[in-house]
Amino acid sequence: MHCTQIKHHSTWQQLLAIIIFFCRASLSTVIAGNISDAALDAARLHYAGKLESAHRLLSQAARQQPDEPFVFNQLGLVSAKLQRYEAAGIAFRRALQLDAANTHARRWLGILALIEGDIPAARRRFEETLQRDSQDADALYFLGAIAGILRDDDGATRYLMQSRDADAGEAETHYRLGVAFERMDLMHSALAEYQRTLEINPRYVRAMDRLGWLYYNQDNTDTALNWWKRALTLNRRDQSIVFSIAKAYNDLGYTARRRGDITAARNYWQQTLRYKPDDKAARWFLQHDTQSER
């Protein structure tokens, strides 16, 4: 797949979700040097979520301190969050010009390359970051996520394990490592990573969904349904969870019907409609079996 076409495929949506997560999780760099009051005020506004005000002050600070990397890191980060990606790139390149060891700016130039759909350029920036800091958990994570999306399971596992070891408290890294293990049919390892994800973040719905499917594929439908129902209490609008529950009850209904237990089958299909009222299969079988018994 040509890198410039990624925006038109599902892989781009997965990358975008990763980027959005990172934007929310990452706030700033360490404050160092002689920082102007405008830059410090802007940083406080940034943390408070007042991005436009922060951007105005940072633009002022950049004119006052044109040789201060922290100011341009902040300006790039706020610009990216405001989706002013060209301006963000200019700011991060200036920060990198001022400080070649600035892994924050280098990492964010990789993220901006992802936003442009240029995976080779993004990978190059993240690899450059690792040359400066081999334990940079974020760069390792992005390289692992890219490898996973491109179905390079060996690469995904290697990078994500390194990212996990560098920052063992990050739930998203454990989750993505679980996905990589699952693709490689290492189900016990995947199970452990999903469980670790939920130890760090007990409200991580995607990990609950994957746990449900792990148990479901081992014919442990009751445990699967318990995980999915737990996930649904946290996000009742999650259609993937609704689909999982509906499929499980539909399959239980088909099994009961095949063994001639129409009463049990009907109960399962009624459960399907409880969670997914527009399920056509459950409605059809309920109507058909009811009519056939008359």
The residue ranges of every structural domain in the chain are 3-225, 226-294
User: Confidence class of residue 120 from pLDDT cuts 50, 70 and 90?
Assistant: very high
Over the chain, what is the mean pLDDT? 83
Query: Would you say 28 and 48 are in contact if contact means Cβ atoms under 8 Å apart?
Result: no
Q: Does domain 3-225 have CATH number 3.30.200.20?
A: no
Query: Would you say 184 and 190 are in contact if contact means Cβ atoms under 8 Å apart?
Result: no
* Intrachain domains 3-225 and 226-294 with the same fold: yes
User: Confidence class of residue 27 from pLDDT cuts 50, 70 and 90?
Assistant: very low
How many other CB atoms are found less than 10 A from the CB of residue 220? Answer: 13
| pLDDT tens readout for residues 48-101 | 788 999 999 999 999 989 999 989 999 998 999 898 999 999 999 999 999 998
Angle at 218 between CA 216 and CA 224, to 5 degrees: 25
| CB hemisphere CA count around 276 (13 angstroms) | 22
pTM for the whole thing? 0.58
**Range 105-121 average pLDDT:** 90
Q: Give the separation between CA 104 and CA 186, rounded to whole angstroms.
A: 34
Residue type, 237: R
Query: Would you say 221 and 246 are in contact if contact means Cβ atoms under 8 Å apart?
Result: no
User: Confidence class of residue 124 from pLDDT cuts 50, 70 and 90?
Assistant: very high
User: Confidence class of residue 15 from pLDDT cuts 50, 70 and 90?
Assistant: low
Q: Is the pLDDT of residue 191 over 50?
A: yes
Of 203, 215, 150, the C-alpha closest to 175 is 203
**Which architecture, in CATH terms, is 226-294?**
Alpha Horseshoe (1.25)
Query: Would you say 21 and 172 are in contact if contact means Cβ atoms under 8 Å apart?
Result: yes
pLDDT the model gives residue 151 = 83
User: Confidence class of residue 185 from pLDDT cuts 50, 70 and 90?
Assistant: confident
pLDDT the model gives residue 8 = 35
| pLDDT tens readout for residues 142-176 | 898 888 878 888 888 888 888 878 776 788 878 88
pLDDT the model gives residue 178 = 85
Reduced to 3 states, what is the DSSP secondary structure of residue 56? helix
Query: Would you say 30 and 143 are in contact if contact means Cβ atoms under 8 Å apart?
Result: no
pLDDT the model gives residue 241 = 94
pLDDT the model gives residue 289 = 66
User: Confidence class of residue 2 from pLDDT cuts 50, 70 and 90?
Assistant: very low
| CB hemisphere CA count around 205 (13 angstroms) | 14
Q: Is the pLDDT of residue 233 over 90?
A: yes
The DSSP element (H or E) to which 209 belongs, if any, is helix 205-216
Q: Give the separation between CA 111 and CA 181, rounded to whole angstroms.
A: 25
Q: Is the pLDDT of residue 4 over 50?
A: no
Pick the residue with more confidence: 28 or 147? 147
Query: Would you say 260 and 292 are in contact if contact means Cβ atoms under 8 Å apart?
Result: no
pLDDT the model gives residue 30 = 43
Exposure pattern of 237-252 as b/e (b: 16+ CB <10 Å)?
Answer: ebeebbebbbbbbbeb
**Range 91-114 average pLDDT:** 92
Q: Is the pLDDT of residue 22 over 90?
A: no
- Please identify which residue in the block is written with the tokens 């760069």: 139
Of 65, 38, 66, 73, the C-alpha closest to 53 is 38
